[in-house]
A and B are shown apart, each in its own frame.
Chain A
Amino acid sequence: MARNIQSLERAAAMLRLLAGGDRRLGLSDIASSLGLAKGTAHGILRTLQQEGFVEQDMTSGRYQLGAELLRLGTTYLDVHELRARALVWTDDLARSSGESAYLGVLHQQGVLIVHHVFRPDDSRQVLEVGAMQPLHSTALGKVLAAYDPVAHSEALEAERKPFTPRTICEPDGFEEILDLTRARGYASDVEETLTGVASIAAPIHNQRRMPVGAVGITGAVERVCKDGELRPELIAAVRDCARAVSRDLGAGRF
């Protein structure tokens, strides 16, 4: 005998509630509309939030529908399609920056490298397509965690290992970095994953402005940084590339 699962029914009712009306509701509104105890409503909302189906406005504390719902509704972007669209732009990025370029997407609890362009010198390099990188310490991972709510909850749930003394592991510090990433439009990793290695990455958006991946460069810290700062022309090259790929995917200028 099939029995419906009560918490799923309640979650569905919540989503319907948030999809109608003014779309931004506080916890007590939601609880009273659905005839639930505040504690019960909060538990469900928190779960939905972790899955990216609901977002909470930082200042007002009100809830609204999350980006993941949009993503479910959009045609899914095939990662190989993403690579095909990014090919010329990432070649240009590697060539103009002099460093190797990477394209990453969220996969399980990390960054899956879906495209890799060699550093344009004659050194021996190995193709890293298919490799996984951590979300919390790499530039690609931070970009995904900053822009994609699902990546965000994955990064918070996952064990954040310290790879070097510079890796930021505690939740508050990590959130601060993500805020900074959103404010600046790019993320960096200066010796937080590997000693001696630095990287810069920026988000790729599709036509619905949904984050679909991240693109970036990685190289020796001596080349990527100057006087302790990321070289601005490298940041510009990475962001130009991300914008160009986004445009190719149909995203408008913003």
Chain B
Amino acid sequence: MTDAHAGIASHGQGPFIAAIDQGTTSSRCIIFDRDGRIVSVDQKEHEQIFPKPGWVEHNAVEIWTNVQEVVAGAVSKAGITRDDIKAIGITNQRETTLLWDKNTGEPVHNAIVWQDTRTDTLCKELGRNVGQDRFRRETGLPLASYFAGPKARWLLDNVEGLRERAEAGDILFGTMDSWVIWNLTGGVDGGRHVTDVTNASRTMLMNLHSMEWDDKICESIGVPKQMLPEIRSSAEVYGEITGGKLGDLLGGIPVASALGDQQAALFGQTCFSEGEAKSTYGTGTFMLMNTGEKVINSYSGLLTTVGYRIGDQKPVYALEGSIAVTGSLVQWMRDQMGLISTAAEIETLALSVEDNGGAYFVPAFSGLFAPYWRSDARGVIAGLTRYVTKAHLARAVLEATAWQTREITDAMTKDSGVELSALKVDGGMTSNNLLMQTLSDFLDAPVVRPMVAETTCLGAAYAAGLAVGFWTSTDDLRANWRRAAEWTPNMAADKRDREYKSWLKAVERTMGWLEDES
């Protein structure tokens, strides 16, 4: 990573900020300089454990070992020492849930990963006669298997003797931020048991308005409050690196931020004003819009979540919409259909024709997500004629990602009353120029790509740097943001409207395919 940095502006001089990204498939550590540029990176993958269909687990001990290794690795690659690093921040895969023994530091079970669907039935039961929106007003979330609270309840119900140990106060609950911070700050020897507002907002146990654990909901879901971490802001000093191998190497460095990965990307993209939004295009897509100090209830199927909170400032909220299938549709064209040999070739194929030839592809492979939430829907390719070629389908594949983004954006505007001024994008698919142009055309708004692709780690570094005064304000951070490319809309309004209408018709045709679900 560092070769190409041997350019002009030297960043050999410190001080620096380190950021840990404890992600779904790997743990990484990146060291950043004051301009927000990457100095070094280290990364290690961990095992994905699939005990049963639909179940996904991680070994939390392996993760902690990897985190220590990548931090040491990144520091050594940068050729710097403890004194050069002003703070360390954390961003993490959201909702993944762990319970551990506070006396031994041993996890009582593997961590249950966010994608794990074992709590499906439990969530339906918890909905009782109200349904999945039972706790939405307080938590901003529907009862779905992703969120951490019901996962903790499952562990308490299914691990022998665990509930008694929890009620005796021996068990600690945490998402991965809490696990990493507790271990970094000493573990069994006085480790800090904390989480930040963004991670807490994904447990379904926190009240969005008070930013505290909600007694009633904790009781309803069946999670004893004494095992929950203290809820802190996203940018403050939680403690210092203490003990263990890292203690010898980096002891005393403040642990100064925690943000869920998508919120960290929002922060790294410097979306600090109301109405600013970022969208991360990977296998799936996550879009977050800053809604300022307002908690906006969504009537369009979006999630209401905490964007971030800096120290004792007021919390900043966000609306979140996710698209299940974006990059994975391109992979599907490559692996299942064999129409392309690399993901990037989708653009070449799509560019060989002028338009979609009348074809629309709605990839509702496992139902429709935001804003429809229809699990009875399945994928559809609509508008086929003998004229349609694989190149038209390639267009339709890229347009599917753009239209789905448009639908989320429309839902956000409807809920918040705020028009999207520009969309900041990151993630692997941003290298697809045709997709980015199509996105801008369909949204009728500029689409902007920043120069640092690692917005998630950068967000954690920014929050940690703010906490220790390395950067003085969010204005400092904005000044670091650099535009690498910008796509501006270039499509006639009547054509956009006509195409959108056709897309919506295709979406309608996906619904009701499965008959035994509503």
Contacts and interface: CB of A to CB of B under 8 A. Distances in A.
Nearest to A92: B4
A185 interface: no
Interface string A70-96: 000000001111011001110111111
B452 A91 contact: yes
B486 A127 contact: yes
A241 interface: yes
Interface in A127-168: 127, 129
B37 A79 contact: no
Nearest to B342: A81
A233 B8 contact: yes
Contact of A237 (B1, B7, B345, B451): B7
Interface in A106-129: 115-118, 120, 122, 125, 127, 129
Contacts of A199: none
A94 B344 contact: no
- The 7 lowest CB-CB distance pairs between A and B, nearest first, are A96-B7, A237-B7, A80-B344, A81-B344, A92-B4, A84-B431, A80-B347
A244 B4 contact: yes
A206 to B, nearest CB: 14
A81 B483 CA distance: 22
B7 A120 contact: no
Interface string B1-34: 1011111110000000000000000000000000
B482 interface: yes
Contacts of A80: 344-348, 431-433
Interface of B: 1, 3-9, 37, 342-348, 428, 430-433, 451-453, 482-487
B348 A97 contact: no
A92 B453 CA distance: 10
A96 B345 contact: no
18 contacts: A78-B342, A78-B344, A80-B345, A80-B346, A81-B344, A83-B431, A84-B344, A84-B432, A91-B484, A96-B9, A115-B433, A120-B482, A125-B486, A127-B486, A233-B7, A237-B4, A240-B3, A240-B4
Contacts of A122: 483
B7 to A, nearest CB: 2
A85 to B, nearest CB: 8
B342 A93 contact: no
Query: What class of interface size applies to chain A in its complex with B?
Result: 20 to 34
A84 B342 CA distance: 11
Contacts of B344: 78, 80-81, 83-84
Contact of B348 (A78, A98, A116, A237): A78
A243 interface: yes
A235 to B, nearest CB: 11
A94 B485 CA distance: 11
B7 A93 contact: yes
Nearest to A127: B485
Given A94-B484, A240-B3, A117 B342 contact: no
Contacts of B4: 89, 92-93, 96, 237, 240-241, 244
B453 A87 contact: yes
Contact of A98 (B8, B485, B487): B8
A69 interface: no
Contacts of B7: 92-93, 95-97, 233-234, 236-237, 240
Contacts of B342: 78, 81
Contacts of B1: 88
A234 B344 CA distance: 30
A236 B348 contact: no
B485 A116 contact: yes
Given A80-B433, A237-B7, 5 more contacts: A87-B430, A87-B453, A117-B484, A118-B483, A237-B8
A231 B4 CA distance: 17
